[in-house]
């Protein structure tokens, strides 16, 4: 066994170990935290890439912790989807970490620097773990790691509203946790195993068998509710706008960019890895149910976003809508649709990450949060605003940005179902992207084409380079992966096929 075969655990351990080292080093010298985190996430990112490469060349990797074979040992299973998620997570975290260097110095009190990075690394570790685990209970544990650290991160500024938002998030998150825990219990009663692969095999024999099938349904229902809360799927999204808008912007970027996607990942794992696709698609129409919910999420989320005056809150509601796109793609359970959903995880991560980082830069430079006050920023912060515009266009799904490609796949997926509901879904996708345009164009118009409120504000005053670089990388990614969509698709497509078993 070479070191390469340990990659699945390495990607999880790097952030987790960093999380332990950070407070110690931070105690000695706070300035060391940021480089440390950047270096470690860079390693995690490289490791994720290597992991993806070996998954692409060798197929699904099963890694048994300590060499114990499942069901006794704990297994890490990295399929295309897991490797894909690892890349997204480590990439966006890396961007957030680079950004944090300047941003945190102003936004947070000095004493909170070390806790901030610790929590960030914990959260990353949790997300990585949830992506690569092959064990249902492990999933739960990793979810708690990421959830609890994210609760704390939301409140880390110590502002009045942030704390309350964090508490609200915590309560709902805890309910979600409890529900998934109950779901796990049911499945364990039925099968006596928690390994996903085993579960899948054993559950298959229980479909439609008297009382057991009822138990199955109850378990599924608990999972759906629990993870829907984590993924902020409408109507269980109520915590998201507060939490995401109140967190520091670097954290908002991670939360909106990937954390809720991990919830989506859990949903996907439950639907397609634990239960069989034919069960959730045909026997009981769970997927079509969540598709409908997702469609409503797209519309309602966008409508809410339109009525916002606060920039970050608007971005948060936009996340509600876009998690709808992702879940819709998953729920369509067709080759194109699921590919689109999975692809959108990546595309939305980049775009929304970029948008939140830009919002952070605006707050950093001007202290403005209100959309109507942004007039004239196009001259003041040209690069930041250009990045904002590109990312916003990607959110709307304008070619040649990445968002268009996911819209294309989602649209194909909706039509591929060949049912009348598919036509409704594509209606929702198209209407959703139009509504998205409405609220993003409002911001862009304000930035570029409006008389600034205070003339003297409009001096060239660009975001510091340390913050600008991640913003520009993300914005560049929105364009590059729109023009070269093959790159993410090379993972997303096999991931969807594997999940659906086609």
d(CA 353, CA 487): 19
Closer to another protein by CB, 320 or 405: give it: 405
Could you tell me which residues are beta bridge partners of residue 234?
none
Query: Do 123 and 145 meet the contact criterion of CB atoms below 8 Å apart?
Result: yes
Query: Do 86 and 67 meet the contact criterion of CB atoms below 8 Å apart?
Result: no
d(CA 491, CA 497): 10
First to last CA, the chain: 31
Which one, of 130, 495, 234, 126, lies nearest residue 341 by Cα?
Answer: 495
Asked if omega into 400 is within 30° of 0 (cis), the reply is: yes
CB 29 to another protein: min, Å = 26
CB 1 to another protein: min, Å = 28
Could you tell me which residues are beta bridge partners of residue 370?
310
Closer to another protein by CB, 9 or 164: give it: 164
DSSP 194: -
Burial label, 38 (beta-carbon count in 10 A; 0-12, 13-18, 19+): middle
Closer to another protein by CB, 38 or 181: give it: 181
Query: Do 260 and 356 meet the contact criterion of CB atoms below 8 Å apart?
Result: no
CB 400 to another protein: min, Å = 5
CB 185 to another protein: min, Å = 6
Closer to another protein by CB, 3 or 460: give it: 460
Closer to another protein by CB, 403 or 470: give it: 403
CB 339 to another protein: min, Å = 10
CB 415 to another protein: min, Å = 5
d(CA 51, CA 118): 24
**Residues 210, 272, 137, CA angle at the centre, nearest 5°?**
85
d(CA 470, CA 287): 36
Which one, of 93, 113, 104, 116, lies nearest residue 14 by Cα?
Answer: 93
Closer to another protein by CB, 170 or 361: give it: 170
> Reduced to 3 states, what is the DSSP secondary structure of residue 234?
coil
CB 216 to another protein: min, Å = 16
Q: Rule CB under 8 A: which residues touch another protein? A: 137, 140-141, 144, 148, 151-152, 155, 158, 160-161, 163-164, 166-167, 170-171, 174-175, 177-178, 181-182, 185, 188-189, 194, 393, 396, 398-400, 404-405, 407-409, 411-412, 415-416, 426, 430-431, 433-434, 437-438, 441, 445, 449-451, 483-486, 489
CB 91 to another protein: min, Å = 20
CB 409 to another protein: min, Å = 8
Distances (CA, A) of 301 to 40, 92, 428: 35, 23, 12
Closer to another protein by CB, 88 or 428: give it: 428
Closer to another protein by CB, 209 or 438: give it: 438
Strand 61-64 to 75-78 pairing: antiparallel
Closer to another protein by CB, 272 or 409: give it: 409
d(CA 65, CA 58): 19
CB 188 to another protein: min, Å = 7
Closer to another protein by CB, 353 or 452: give it: 452
Q: How many CB atoms lie within 10 A of CB 501?
A: 9
Closer to another protein by CB, 12 or 280: give it: 12
CB 265 to another protein: min, Å = 19
At 83, list the tokens: 């490797």
> Reduced to 3 states, what is the DSSP secondary structure of residue 157?
coil
DSSP 37-61: HHHHHHHHHHHHHHHHHHHHHH--E
CB 441 to another protein: min, Å = 6
Query: Do 61 and 54 meet the contact criterion of CB atoms below 8 Å apart?
Result: yes
Closer to another protein by CB, 61 or 220: give it: 220
């Amino acid at each position: 066994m070479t070191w390469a075969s340990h990659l699945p655990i390495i990607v999880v351990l790097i952030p987790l170990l960093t999380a332990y080292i950070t407070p110690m080093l931070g105690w000695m010298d706070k300035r060391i935290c940021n480089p440390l985190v950047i270096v470690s996430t860079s390693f995690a990112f490289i490791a994720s890439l290597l992991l993806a490469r070996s998954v692409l060349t060798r197929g699904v990797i099963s890694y048994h912790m300590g060499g114990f074979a499942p069901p006794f040992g704990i297994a890490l299973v990295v399929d295309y989807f897991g490797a894909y998620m690892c890349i997204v997570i480590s990439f966006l975290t890396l961007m957030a970490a680079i950004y944090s260097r300047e941003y945190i110095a102003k936004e947070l009190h000095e004493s909170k620097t070390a806790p901030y990075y610790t929590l960030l690394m914990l959260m990353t570790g949790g997300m990585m773990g949830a992506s690569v685990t092959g064990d249902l209970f492990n999933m739960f544990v990793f979810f708690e790691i990421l959830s609890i650290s994210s609760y704390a991160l939301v409140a880390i500024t110590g502002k009045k509203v942030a704390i309350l938002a964090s508490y609200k998030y915590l309560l709902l998150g805890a309910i979600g946790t409890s529900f998934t825990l109950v779901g796990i219990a049911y499945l364990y009663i039925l099968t006596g195993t928690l390994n996903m692969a085993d579960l899948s095999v054993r559950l298959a024999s229980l479909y439609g068998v008297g009382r057991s099938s009822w138990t199955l349904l109850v378990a599924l229902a608990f999972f759906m509710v629990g993870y829907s809360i984590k993924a902020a799927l409408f109507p269980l999204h109520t915590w998201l706008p507060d939490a995401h808008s109140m967190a520091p912007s670097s954290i908002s970027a991670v939360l909106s960019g990937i954390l809720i996607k991990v919830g989506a990942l859990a949903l996907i794992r439950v639907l397609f890895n634990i239960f069989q696709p034919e069960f959730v698609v045909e026997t009981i129409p769970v997927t079509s149910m969540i598709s409908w919910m997702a469609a409503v999420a797209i519309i309602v989320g966008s409508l809410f976003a339109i009525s916002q005056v606060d920039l970050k809150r608007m971005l948060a509601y936009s996340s509600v809508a876009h998690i709808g796109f992702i879940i819709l793609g998953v729920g369509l359970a067709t080759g194109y649709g699921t590919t689109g959903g999975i692809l959108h995880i990546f595309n939305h991560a980049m775009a929304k990450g970029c948008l939140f980082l830009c919002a952070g830069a605006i707050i950093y430079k001007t202290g403005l949060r209100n959309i109507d006050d942004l007039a004239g920023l196009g001259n003041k912060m040209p690069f930041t605003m250009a990045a904002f515009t590109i990312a916003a266009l990607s959110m709307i799904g304008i070619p040649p940005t990445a968002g268009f490609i996911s819209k294309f796949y989602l649209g194909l997926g909706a039509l591929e179902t060949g049912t009348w509901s598919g036509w409704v879904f594509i209606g929702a996708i198209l209407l959703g992207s139009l509504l998205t345009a409405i609220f993003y164009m409002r911001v862009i118009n304000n930035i570029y084409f409006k008389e600034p409120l205070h003339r003297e504000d409009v001096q060239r005053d660009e975001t510091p380079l340390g913050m600008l670089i991640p913003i520009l990388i993300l914005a560049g990614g929105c364009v590059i992966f729109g023009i070269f969509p093959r790159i993410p698709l090379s993972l997303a497509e096999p991931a969807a096929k594997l999940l659906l078993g086609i």
